[in-house]
Amino acid sequence: MYKLLLCWRYLRTRWIALASVVSVTLGVATMIVVNAVMAGFSHEMQTRIHGILSDLVFESHSLSGFQDPQWHMEEMRRAAGDDIVGMTPTVAVPAMLNFQVRGQWVTRQIMFIGIDEATHAQVSDFGRYLQHPANRTQLSFDLRDGGYDTVDSQSESAAPTRPALEGAGWSHRRMRIERERVWRERLEAERTPTEAAEPAVGPTRSVDQQVDAVLAATTEAPVEAAQPTPRRADPFQQARPEEGVRMDPANEQFTGVVPGIGLASFRDSSGIDRFLVLPGDDVKVTFPTSGTPPKAVSDTFTIVDFYESKMSEYDSNFVFVPITALQRMRGMIDPQTGIGSVNSIQIKLRDGADLEVVRDKLRKVFPADLYAVATWRDKQGPLLAAVDMEMSVLNILLFLIIAVAGFGILAIFFMIVVEKTRDIGILKALGASAGGIGGIFLGYGLFLGIVGAGAGLALGLSIAWNINTIRAGVEWCTGERVFDPSIYYFYRIPSIVHPLTVLWIMVGAVGIAVGSSVLPALRAARLHPVEALRHD
Amino acid sequence: MTEPRVPLVGVRDLRKRYRSGDTTLEVLRGVDFELAQGEFVSIVGQSGSGKSTLLHLMGLLDAADSGEIRLDGVRVDGVSASRRDRLRNTAIGMVFQAYHLLPELDALENVLAPLLVRHGIFEWMKVRRPMRDRARALLDRFGLGGRLHHKPRQLSGGEMQRVAIARALVTRPRVLLADEPTGNLDESTGAEILDTLCELNRADGLSIVLVTHDAAVAKRADRIVRLAAGRVDDACHASPRKAG
């Protein structure tokens, strides 16, 4: 009982000891905040990675892909059917994106991904990241009339940061076509008669659409028309009939594509997104065919929406296109059967399924020299591992801060033991055991640890929970942008407090406080009562 | 003179040496001492005669090199540390020259301290009330009823020493060991303390060993034992009060 009483009294009368736990408090608070923010970032990142990558990705090593995805999917269902809830084939090829901005051609290196618009959203969060509300529920590669979000649908702020998307869609397309026509007429009016011999060429349908027209016209020979003949530069040249080539761009579109938002826009310092091209504009994409060796073919597409996962790696790299169009253009459709090849199948598993177990099951069925099966974590393994390592290193460093605080406690406790030597002698004379005397100081250390860590907990949690308010306050005070959304693509600092992490931090901090009071406690316990009583 | 009764405290051939570096200081060179139940004995001697050491050995605060100490006929030297702590807590009450109160605790808590040491927290919750009453009664008896919640620094020297005596007595010990209890006090206050001790000896039959270098103080005891150079000086074995 005297231990508790004395601990309590010492706690109330020795403020210097409380000063020594300030560093424990600060260390705990910092650790909680850093862990919360890191966990927040990590979570955001994983969500985004997982948002575009399905649970499992089944790929062929060959760019030309494998034939008959349906058969593959059936095999997979046979191997791990219980865990699979959705599958969708995709074709992904490296490609080049070209678009014209004020007369200059801008070229971007991209990953051109053919997706099945009906099923793709089922296996990943793909749909959530589109800019048109209707596309978020069901993606369509047809250009919308308008109604694109001017507000970032994933941010909580209601400020319209994308005013340019206001007029996007058909109205933007028609205005642009009209402007181009006026320009062209003006140019033609200025031209001398000799130059006019070369007639101005109006827009033509894309090659793919021309094939569509042929297919529609000649029902009996789809095989002939679609068959790629490797020796010809343009596989569709012969098949191109004159009718169906001309199009009315004001009322018709090319094949729709959904590029990542980072390819077409940049964020200025005030947080407004500026767009180089808009839904309704046409772009050219150059991509390899599936023959050997692959040849580069180009075609024209119309942007129908933007994709924004907030993972800049994806947002500035991916362009989505209907899978059938890509298969046709690359010559991936088997002329005999009409079945298209794919080079990847995205698989969604039921909630709670063990990704690695299913992956290994599939790996057993499909030979590794032909197919690669990977979980979404495997795909981004280095990145996730880097983040994890960063977190561990930070935790070690921050924990050292608390350890340093432990040495402060040690020093101050030694001083308190010296100061209290006579009292220790008195207590021993009154019959207190050595263990009891040691217990006072251990208990004192425990109290201080709890007080310090508790204060740190309160401070850390209040910072972690209000970090965006604090950031706003700091920005208001200093006039500097602390957290620039144009760098991070987040509008607010993410912060997730994991109770278990907090618990471990608390246990560690209290443990250090107790641990560093062990030596002083031992010293106190070993004091000789007679000498202690003589001490002044 | 030899009574069949076992003395309350029996010390035989007690020796104690202190070593500091190469020199050894023999403080006690075979002390024999007995204290009967209800007796008030003064131990006098010059500084360095070993009287405080003898008291510390009897209070089990230190271990002798050889010889034996018996309490009620039972050897208490060389027992285990926990038993020694227990004996210190229950059988022995000690009073010091410098009062040795705990500065963080008020008068009542200081008196309760040995009981707090004895009882664990849950036990204490059960026995708290009667113990508090006992401590309060003791302080009342010593005229400190109105100063229960004063910290030691708010008390005078005499008051502090009376708190210390109350603390020594709250456990109802077999023997009270007082080490120069009047040493830091002026004459009249010291006399009051001595009156208190005499009164305790007479009224309650408390056995007291009082160590002092002051002959006037020593005279108040039943018997005076003089220590010189680590031995009991047999020449002076007077019992002033009973004889006079």
Average pLDDT on A267-285 reads 83
Residue B24 has pLDDT above 80, yes or no: yes
Final residue of a domain: which of B171, B196, B221? B171
Final residue of a domain: which of B171, B201, B225? B171
Q: Where are the beta strands (DSSP E) in A360-480?
A: 371-375
- Report d(CA A326, CA A291) in Å as an integer: 14
Domain boundaries, chain A: 2-48+383-534, 54-203+247-379
- Domain membership of residue B239 (yes or no) is yes
Looking at residue A331, its pLDDT comes to 83
Higher pLDDT pick, A299 / A64 = A299
Looking at residue B135, its pLDDT comes to 93
**Count of alpha carbons within 13 angstroms of residue A414, beta-carbon side:** 7
Pick B117's closest partner by Cβ from A423, A432, A533: A432
The nearest CA of chain B is from the CA of A512 a distance in Å of 26
- Report d(CA B244, CA B241) in Å as an integer: 5
CA-nearest residue of chain A to B58?
A: A429
Closest CA to A375 of A34, A7, A5, A80: A80
Looking at residue A524, its pLDDT comes to 93
Residue B74 has pLDDT above 50, yes or no: yes
Final residue of a domain: which of B171, B194, B222? B171
Higher pLDDT pick, B194 / A383 = B194
For residue A342, give every residue at least 6 positions away whose Cβ sits within 8 Å of its Cβ, in sequence order, or none.
Answer: A65, A66, A69, A89, A90, A91, A114, A323, A327, A332
- Which residues of A have a CB under 8 Å from any CB of B? 1-2, 4-6, 9-10, 13, 422-423, 425-434, 436, 528-530, 533
B180 and B81 part of one domain: yes
Residue A154 has pLDDT above 50, yes or no: yes
| Kind of pairing between the strands at B92-95 and B175-179 | parallel
Confidence of residue B140 (pLDDT cuts 50, 70, 90): very high
CA-nearest residue of chain B to A433?
A: B85
Higher pLDDT pick, A81 / B193 = B193
B85 and B7 part of one domain: yes
Looking at residue A85, its pLDDT comes to 82
Neighbours of A404 (CB within 10 A): 13
The nearest CA of chain A is from the CA of B242 a distance in Å of 32
Neighbours of A29 (CB within 10 A): 22
Looking at residue B242, its pLDDT comes to 44
On chain B, the residues whose CB falls within 8 A of the CB of A528 are 62
Highest mean pLDDT among A12-21, B118-127, B155-164: B155-164
Token pair of A428 as six digits:
């021993």
The nearest CA of chain A is from the CA of B73 a distance in Å of 21
Looking at residue A482, its pLDDT comes to 72
Contact A528 B96 (CB under 8 A): no
On chain A, the residues whose CB falls within 8 A of the CB of B114 are 430-431
Residue B30 has pLDDT above 80, yes or no: yes
B138 and B32 part of one domain: no
- Domain membership of residue B96 (yes or no) is no
Higher pLDDT pick, B4 / B122 = B122
Phi-psi region of B106 (alpha: psi -120 to 50; beta: other; left: phi over 0): beta
Residue whose tokens read 């004063």: B150
Residue A94 has pLDDT above 70, yes or no: yes
Buried b (16+ CB within 10 A) or exposed e, B11-28: beebbbeeeeeeeeeebb
| CA–CA distances in Å: residue B6 to residues A218, B32, B64 | 131, 15, 22
Residue whose tokens read 């271990």: B63
Pick B116's closest partner by Cβ from A5, A426, A428: A5
Contact A431 B85 (CB under 8 A): yes
- Domain membership of residue B38 (yes or no) is yes
- Report d(CA B13, CA B28) in Å as an integer: 9
Higher pLDDT pick, A194 / B170 = B170
Average pLDDT on B172-192 reads 92
Contact B61 A432 (CB under 8 A): no
The nearest CA of chain B is from the CA of A30 a distance in Å of 35
pTM beyond 0.95: no
Residue whose tokens read 């059988």: B91
B86 and B177 part of one domain: yes
The nearest CA of chain B is from the CA of A447 a distance in Å of 17
A69 near A89, Cβ under 8 Å? yes
Contact B116 A433 (CB under 8 A): no
Looking at residue A228, its pLDDT comes to 44
Pick B117's closest partner by Cβ from A431, A528, A530: A431
B160 and B189 part of one domain: no
Secondary structure class of B225 (helix, strand, coil): strand
B81 and B189 part of one domain: yes
- Domain membership of residue B97 (yes or no) is no
Q: How many domains does chain B fold into?
A: 2
Pick A426's closest partner by Cβ from B59, B82, B100: B100
B101 and A CB contact within 8 Å:
yes
The nearest CA of chain A is from the CA of B111 a distance in Å of 11
On chain B, the residues whose CB falls within 8 A of the CB of A8 are none
B69 near B7, Cβ under 8 Å? no
Residue whose tokens read 């678009």: A99
Pick B86's closest partner by Cβ from A425, A431, A528: A431
Residue A385 has pLDDT above 90, yes or no: no
In this structure, is the dihedral angle defined by the CA atoms of residues A262, A263, A269 and A273, taken in order, positive or negative? negative
φ/ψ of residue A97, rounded to 5: -110, 130
**Which of B86, B116, B126, B211 has the most A C-beta neighbours within 10 Å, making it the best mutation to test the interface with A?**
B116
From A40-49, A171-180, B30-39, B154-163, the region with the lowest mean pLDDT: A40-49
The nearest CA of chain B is from the CA of A1 a distance in Å of 4
Contact A1 B119 (CB under 8 A): yes
Contact B104 A9 (CB under 8 A): yes
Contact A429 B90 (CB under 8 A): no
B121 and A CB contact within 8 Å:
yes
**Which of A1, A9, A416, A534 has the most B C-beta neighbours within 10 Å, making it the best mutation to test the interface with B?**
A1
In this structure, is the dihedral angle defined by the CA atoms of residues A51, A55, A58 and A62, taken in order, positive or negative? positive
Contact B117 A2 (CB under 8 A): yes
Q: How many residues does chain A have?
A: 536
In this structure, is the dihedral angle defined by the CA atoms of residues B233, B237, B241 and B244, taken in order, positive or negative? negative
Average pLDDT on A467-493 reads 76
B210 and B111 part of one domain: no
B200 and B185 part of one domain: yes
B62 and B182 part of one domain: yes
Looking at residue B6, its pLDDT comes to 83
B138 and B177 part of one domain: no
Looking at residue A116, its pLDDT comes to 85
Contact B61 A427 (CB under 8 A): no
Q: Which amino acid is at A322?
A: P
Pick A1's closest partner by Cβ from B59, B90, B120: B120
- Domain membership of residue B199 (yes or no) is yes
Give the structural domain span for B115: 102-171
ipTM of predicted complex: 0.91
Contact A430 B109 (CB under 8 A): no
B147 and B40 part of one domain: no
